[in-house]
A and B are shown apart, each in its own frame.
Chain A
Amino acid sequence: MENDSNVFLIGQGVQSPWYVGNTCEGLLEKFGEARVIDTPISENAINGAAVGAAICGMRPVVIHPRIDFMVYGLDPIINEAANWHYMFGGMSSAPVVVWAIINRGGEQGAQHSQALQALFSHIPGLKVVMPSNPYDAKGLMISAIKDDNPVIFIDDRWLYNLEGDVPKELYSVPIGKGTIKRTGKDLTIVATSYMVNKSIDVVSELEKNGYSIEVIDLRTIYPLDEELILKSVKKTGRLVVVDSAWKFCGVGGEIIATVTEKAFNYLKVKPLRVTLPDCPAPSSRVLENAYYLSEKEIIKAVKSILAK
């Protein structure tokens, strides 16, 4: 915001930092009400206003403390922003960042828990990024703001207690590029956001038993870093995708389809998806434990593949 006066932040709660996990602390004092805009609960109009401002040359970041509520505001994202550059033959575009937060667990139930990355990744014209750590969160946000296209920046509140080194200066993490968090030769885990960290924990355990597992942090869901995934699977011949959302028509299915189309002959065994069950999020803690993924499910998938 300091470097580009076209950047502004708009959304519910940006003037009361507790609401979005302290991420907006100090911004109001520094940049004033003109560029840190708290809004009525009007997701549709506010997304639209951000898209409209972007079309007119601004670089808005519109924040949604809960991605579930943002479903009210899908029209400006899917119909307008995503199509804008294409349907007007490249005459203008909507460089907006839609920052949507997955905020789940704690018996919040179905409408306070959804991970909707697949929904946005399906739409041509949208880029979708999901950081797994503080360094990438900053770098991806900077890339998203600088990108000339609409970017959906999805982060997970379960990551908000994670600590890590974050340089003070501006730096970018490129959109469309994943990264290898662990190198290995027997199996590839491709994971998204929060599930990256769970996967690393699992791998640390399994390595003690002599397994060699590669972990890819996808960082960007779309455009998918096919090159990185294919290269890794060609090396290991085994693939598990771990995603924090549902299975059907999800990120896991898309990655496995891509690998089977482009590197089928390299696969030694059938790939597996580790995802949530295709079911809304329950509330009761007993049901939540059955619903959300733990290390257990990842270990089970990895072991079943390596046993073959």
Chain B
Amino acid sequence: MLKIRLAEESLVEPIIKGEIKTPCHLYSGEEAIATGVCANLTKKDIVFGNHRSHGHYLAKGGNLNQMISEIYGKETGCCHGRGGSMHLTCPQAGFMGSTPIVAGTVSLATGAALAMKIRKQKNLAVSFFGDGATGEGVLYESMNFASLYKLPIIYACENNFYATHLPLKEFRLDDNISEIAKPFRISSYRVDGNDVLAVYETVKKAVLDIKKGKGPVFIEFRTYRLRGHVGPNDNIQGSQTDIRPKAEIKMWQKKDPLIKYSRWLLKNETASREQLEDIKQKTVREVDKAREFSDKSSWPNPKDVNKYVFN
């Protein structure tokens, strides 16, 4: 969680200064979900992400240096500068890809689960998408198909209560997203997405059920982004577009998943303050080094602009 937070926050200043141009949808505030979900997965389990996937990539074991380099558009990036922030991949870690078409990878993750079923593999796929994706028909098509064939997949909906600029209550009459899985006879849960232990425990149960062959599971994680929809503060071409009420933002800042988990660790004496500070310093250095790695890396060769069109 800390690595994701520090990596995300390290991008804020460079974005404001214009050093980073690729649109970054920061994951700050939602780290407990990727962390709690991926802690239950192995390398052979497959994850597909979305536009806001720096956290999913890192939690699944993606390489930090390569992610930061990709965001800066360098040849050493995980996609050699062809992807940018919204397209990340680390196939060797089972993170097949994140793409920014809303709900675009839901069906792909379903296909990954179908492949596992055909090959009789005992793994599972996870599809991360947001509350906005509940407006897309392909989500319902995919759930129906996955349920019909009892595919090993978790539909992980990160509900941060906003589809870009639009509050949830203005695009859905029913606030309870976990209900959408029920007509497809998919078991579903509604979890505090800012509580990493609750996330972990729920997903653990889901993984067990899936491995017993019970078919897909839908989990709604309720969370909040501490940054803008895109960039640090939704400053789009000079105008502030974050319309979220200040009081609401303040309330969620108090529920910061990192603070919540630190408190729990201290209270249960699982870690001391010194240990936590030590971990923080180590992680700060790791993030700094990733930036240095990117700075030293060369740009892609413009002559190679059409490299990789075909395999």
Q: How far is the CB of A35 from chain B (nearest CB, A)?
A: 6
Cross-chain contact A75 with B138 (CB below 8 angstroms): yes
Cross-chain contact B110 with A88 (CB below 8 angstroms): no
Cβ-based interface call for A210 (8 A): no
Tell me which of A56, A87, A91 contacts B115 (CB under 8 A).
Answer: A56
Cross-chain contact A55 with B108 (CB below 8 angstroms): yes
Tell me which of A34, A44, A47, A51 contacts B118 (CB under 8 A).
Answer: A34
Cβ-based interface call for B239 (8 A): no
Within 31-89 of A, Cβ neighbours of B (below 8 Å) are at: 34-35, 37, 39-40, 42, 44-58, 60, 75-76, 79-80, 84-89
Cβ-based interface call for A280 (8 A): no
Q: How far is the CA of A185 from the CA of B21 in the complex (A)?
A: 56
CB-CB under 8 A from A79, the residues of chain B are: 99, 101, 104
Nearest opposing residue in chain A for B80, CB measure: A89
CB-CB under 8 A from B46, the residues of chain A are: 56
Q: How far is the CA of A50 from the CA of B115 in the complex (A)?
A: 9
Cβ-based interface call for B55 (8 A): no
A48-B142, A53-B115, A149-B310 known; A89 and B110 CB under 8 Å? no
Cβ-based interface call for A164 (8 A): no
CB-CB under 8 A from A90, the residues of chain B are: 80, 307-308, 311
Nearest opposing residue in chain B for A85, CB measure: B311
Cβ-based interface call for B1 (8 A): no
Quick one: which of B48, B141, B142, B307 has the most chain A CB within 10 A? B141
Cross-chain contact A49 with B114 (CB below 8 angstroms): yes
Count residues on chain B whose CB falls below 8 Å from chain A CBs.
46
Quick one: which of B48, B81, B87, B307 has the most chain A CB within 10 A? B87
Q: How far is the CA of A37 from the CA of B309 in the complex (A)?
A: 30
Cross-chain contact A148 with B96 (CB below 8 angstroms): no
Tell me which of B83, B96, B117, B310 contacts A125 (CB under 8 A).
Answer: B310
User: Across the A-B interface, how many residue pairs have beta carbons closer than 8 Å?
Assistant: 149
Nearest opposing residue in chain B for A72, CB measure: B137
Cβ-based interface call for A121 (8 A): no
Q: How far is the CA of A49 from the CA of B144 in the complex (A)?
A: 12
Cross-chain contact A76 with B107 (CB below 8 angstroms): yes
Nearest opposing residue in chain A for B97, CB measure: A88
Q: How far is the CA of A76 from the CA of B110 in the complex (A)?
A: 12
Cross-chain contact A54 with B82 (CB below 8 angstroms): no
Cβ-based interface call for B206 (8 A): no
Cross-chain contact A46 with B108 (CB below 8 angstroms): no
Cβ-based interface call for A92 (8 A): yes
Cross-chain contact A85 with B308 (CB below 8 angstroms): yes
Cβ-based interface call for A106 (8 A): no
Cross-chain contact B111 with A89 (CB below 8 angstroms): no
Cross-chain contact A45 with B309 (CB below 8 angstroms): no
Tell me which of A34, A40, A48 contacts B108 (CB under 8 A).
Answer: A48
Cross-chain contact B97 with A55 (CB below 8 angstroms): yes
Q: How far is the CA of A48 from the CA of B145 in the complex (A)?
A: 11
CB-CB under 8 A from B231, the residues of chain A are: none
Nearest opposing residue in chain A for B121, CB measure: A56
Q: How far is the CA of A45 from the CA of B153 in the complex (A)?
A: 14
A40-B141, A80-B104, A88-B79 known; A48 and B309 CB under 8 Å? no
CB-CB under 8 A from B107, the residues of chain A are: 44-49, 51-52, 76
Cβ-based interface call for A21 (8 A): no
Cross-chain contact B108 with A80 (CB below 8 angstroms): yes
A35-B118, A52-B111 known; A85 and B309 CB under 8 Å? yes
Q: How far is the CA of A75 from the CA of B114 in the complex (A)?
A: 19
Cross-chain contact B83 with A89 (CB below 8 angstroms): yes
Cβ-based interface call for B91 (8 A): yes
- B269-311, CB under 8 A of A: which get 1 and which 0? 0000000000000000000000000000000000000011111
Nearest opposing residue in chain A for B83, CB measure: A87
Q: Can you list 16 A-B pairs with a CB-CB distance of less than 8 A?
A: A42-B144, A45-B107, A48-B106, A49-B108, A52-B111, A52-B125, A53-B115, A55-B112, A60-B111, A86-B308, A87-B79, A90-B308, A91-B79, A91-B90, A92-B91, A93-B311
